[in-house]
Amino acid sequence: MEWKRFLSIPVCSVFLLMGFVYYITVFIFIEDWVGLQSSAGTLNAMIFTFMASLCLFSFLVCVLKEPGYVPSPYVPDVEGAAVPPHQEPLNNVSNIQASI
């Protein structure tokens, strides 16, 4: 099940670290800098909250999403082997090297 991935030490440590950074930034730094009761402090806290939530969302997607696979017809290039001009390359790596 996908939700069991959250019980690992690295995933839990990321959540703890993000919670610590969020608390320190909003309730210590912004509060001492401009105060959370001012409009500038509220705006800074809202912007940081939005950015932190986007960071956690992208982390959640990475944890829950499958990593994918290598297609079966993929064949890696051999180092130093040149592709003849009349033959089509096997993958994108040789396309990039040929265009340089």
Domain count, the chain: 1
Kindly state whether residue 92 falls inside one of the protein's structural domains.
no
- Which pLDDT does position 42 carry in this prediction? 93
Lowest-pLDDT range of 32-36, 45-49, 68-72 = 68-72
Angle, vertex CA 18, rays to CA 37 and CA 68, nearest 5: 135
Give pLDDT tens digits for 75-98: 776 765 566 656 665 555 555 555
- Which pLDDT does position 56 carry in this prediction? 94
Give pLDDT tens digits for 9-38: 888 999 999 999 999 999 999 888 898 899
State the sign of the Cα–Cα–Cα–Cα dihedral 41, 44, 50, 51. Answer: negative
Residue 33's domain spans which residues? 2-64
Kindly state whether residue 86 falls inside one of the protein's structural domains.
no
